[in-house]
Amino acid sequence: MTMSDDNGVVNHVAMLPSAGMGHLTPFLRLATFFLSHNIKVTLITPHPTHTPSESQLLSRFQSSFPQVNQINFNVESSLSTQSPNSHIAIPYFQMIDDIRTFAAKALSHLLSSLSPPLSFFVSDYFMLSSVLSITQSISLPNYVLFTSSASFFALFSYFSTLPSSLSEHETVEIQGIPPIPISSISPYLLVPNSIFKKVFIFIEDSSQITKFDGFFINTFEALEQQLLEAVNASKVLPGMPPLLPFGPFVPCEFEKEGDQWRKPLKWLDDQPRGSVVFANFGSTTEFGWDQIREIADGLVRSGIRFLLVVKDKKYFNEDDKKEEAGLQEVLGYELVDRIRDKGLVMKEWVYQSGILSHEAIGGFLSHCGWNSIVEAAWNGVPIFGLPQRGVQKMNAEVVERSGWGTWNKNWGWIGECLVKGEEIGDAIKVFMNKESFKIKASKIKVAARKARSVGGDCEVTLHKLFKK
C-alpha cells in the first residue's frame, strides 16, 4: 500500500518527539512505519539531546533512512549547562522547557516552509498546549503521539475534571473504564500544583484535548479493547477526537548498536526454551543498590535461570556515566559468587527487544514502562511487574487485566520500601510456573502480529487517516 494521493502528490508528515528514550523510540518506530508506506518524514529534534543514547539512536536512524529530512534545533539554555564531552544528562524538566521555547519561537515558520506541504504534524503529548495554537494558526492538522497506554490516556484526558483532593478517595471512577485505584496513581499527580503536574499534565482545560485532530497510541485492540472503545465512544470525554491505535510499534533494525547486542543472545542460545526470566527496568531506574541486591538475591533463590540487567540510579547507557560503579560494588562479592552459573548479570545497555524475542526467555521482570510492555506483548512474554514510578502501576494493571502477567500490589512503588529477596524469589517461582500466563501471552503475540500484518488494523488506520 503506497501513500501518495490520487494526483500522485507525496504525503509528508512532520514529527516532534519529546526528550527521553521512552519518547524518542516510539516516535522513530512510528516514523519507520510511515516510511515503509512511502510517506515522507521530517523529524525535528533538539540538539544536544537529553542523553547521548538518544543522539546515538538518532544517528543510526539517519544512516538507515537517509531520505528522512532531519532538522535539529539548538536548546540554548541546556547548551550552557553541558559541555560537549561531559556526558551529563540535561535535566529533564529543563529540556522539556527548551523544546517548548523552540516551538513558540520557530515552529510556525518551520512547519509552513516545509516542502512538499505537510499532510499533518505529529507532536508528543508532553507538549500539548505549546503546539496547538501554532498549528491552529497555520491550519495544519495536528495529531499527538501518546507514548503511554490507552488506560493512562483515559485518566489523562479526564484529569482536569477530577476533584483536586483526589487522595481522599479510594478509586477514580471514569465512565466506561475499570475504576483506577488511587494507590496506582503517581503521588506526583495527587499533589495540587506539583511541578510534575505543571510540566506534564498541563491541561487546565480538557476541552483543549478535543481541539486536536486525533491521538496516535502504541496499543492494539487485543491489549486494551475496552479502553479504546470507551474513549472512542466519547464516554470518557465528550467530543473526543479519535484515539488511533497504531500498535504494537515494532522494534527496528537501526536500534541495534554495534555488536554488543549479541552478547546476551549468545548466552541465551545455551539455555533451554522458555527457561530464563529476564529482569530489566527501563532506560533509567529509580532502584537503589539495596533493592537491586534484593532482586538479585530473589532471582538466585527462585532457582530459575535469569538474565539481570543492572543500572545505576539515573543511568542511561554506557557512555552517559563514565565513572559508574562496577558490578561487584553494586551487588557485593558474596552475591556475585552466589550468582555464578545461575544467571547472567549485565551492567550495560542491552538490546531489550532482541532479548525478548529469544526463545529461551520465559518471563519478564519489568518496571512496566509502556514500551517494555508492548515489546513483551509483541514477543508473547509474560510479565511480572515491579512498577517504580509514574504510570507504571496502571500499566501493570493493563497486563494483569488481560491475563498474561501479574504484580504484587502490597509491594507499593518499588524502591519506596525495600522488598526482600525471599519474597521476590517465591513470587518469581510461582510466576514462571504459571501456565495460564504463557497461554495468554502467546495469544496476545498472535493478535499483536495480526494488527501489524499486511492489511491489518494498523494499515487500515493509516489508510483511513490519509483518505481523510
Closest approach of ligand UDP to the CB of residue 206, in Å: 19
| Closest CB to ligand UDP among residues 140, 345 | 345
Known catalytic residue at 124: yes
Closest approach of ligand UDP to the CB of residue 367, in Å: 6
Those residues with Cβ within 8 angstroms of residue 127's Cβ, 6 or more apart along the chain or in another chain? 16, 18, 96, 99, 100, 103
d(CA 294, CA 434): 23
Q: Which residue has the cell 466506561?
A: 176
Which amino acid type is present at position 153? F
| Closest CB to ligand UDP among residues 250, 439 | 250
d(CA 380, CA 55): 30
Closest approach of ligand UDP to the CB of residue 308, in Å: 11
49 binds ligand UDP (CB under 6 A): no
Which amino acid type is present at position 16? L
Q: Which residue has the cell 510492555?
A: 373
- Which candidate, 458, 307, 446, places its Cα nearest to that of 380? 446
188 binds ligand UDP (CB under 6 A): yes
| Closest CB to ligand UDP among residues 114, 375 | 375
| Closest CB to ligand UDP among residues 119, 372 | 372
186 binds ligand UDP (CB under 6 A): yes
Q: Would you list the DSSP string of 175-204?
A: TTS--EEGGGS-HHHHSTT-HHHHHH---S
Give the three-state DSSP class for 403. coil
| Closest CB to ligand UDP among residues 33, 119 | 33
d(CA 180, CA 417): 22
With contacts defined by CB under 6 A, name the span among 127-135, 169-177, 213-221, 351-359 that binds ligand UDP: 351-359
Cell triple for 211: 481541539
Please check whether residue 276 is in contact with residue 362, taking contact to mean a CB–CB distance below 8 angstroms: yes
With contacts defined by CB under 6 A, name the span among 157-165, 335-343, 344-352, 419-427 that binds ligand UDP: 344-352
d(CA 363, CA 355): 11
125 binds ligand UDP (CB under 6 A): no
Given 23, 50, 358, 367, which residue is catalytic? 23
Give the three-state DSSP class for 135. helix
Site for ligand UDP in 75-104 (CB under 6 A): 92
Cell triple for 47: 540538539
| Closest CB to ligand UDP among residues 312, 375 | 375
d(CA 275, CA 438): 12
With contacts defined by CB under 6 A, name the span among 103-111, 112-120, 225-233, 346-354 that binds ligand UDP: 346-354
Closest approach of ligand UDP to the CB of residue 391, in Å: 6
Q: Which of 3, 13, 20, 421 binds ligand UDP (CB under 6 A)?
A: 20
17 binds ligand UDP (CB under 6 A): no
Query: Would strands 276-280 and 361-366 be described as parallel, antiparallel, or unpaired?
Result: parallel
Please check whether residue 214 is in contact with residue 243, taking contact to mean a CB–CB distance below 8 angstroms: yes
| Closest CB to ligand UDP among residues 44, 252 | 252
Cell triple for 241: 477526537
Closest approach of ligand UDP to the CB of residue 236, in Å: 20
Q: Which of 283, 379, 402, 406 binds ligand UDP (CB under 6 A)?
A: 283
d(CA 366, CA 346): 15
- Report CA 295 to chain centroid distance, whole Å: 23
Q: Which of 119, 123, 135, 280 binds ligand UDP (CB under 6 A)?
A: 280
Given 12, 98, 124, 320, which residue is catalytic? 124
282 binds ligand UDP (CB under 6 A): yes
Known catalytic residue at 320: no
**Catalytically annotated residues:** 23, 124
Binding footprint of ligand UDP on the chain (CB under 6 A) = 20-23, 25, 92, 147, 186, 188, 196, 280, 282-284, 309, 349-353, 369-372, 375, 389-390
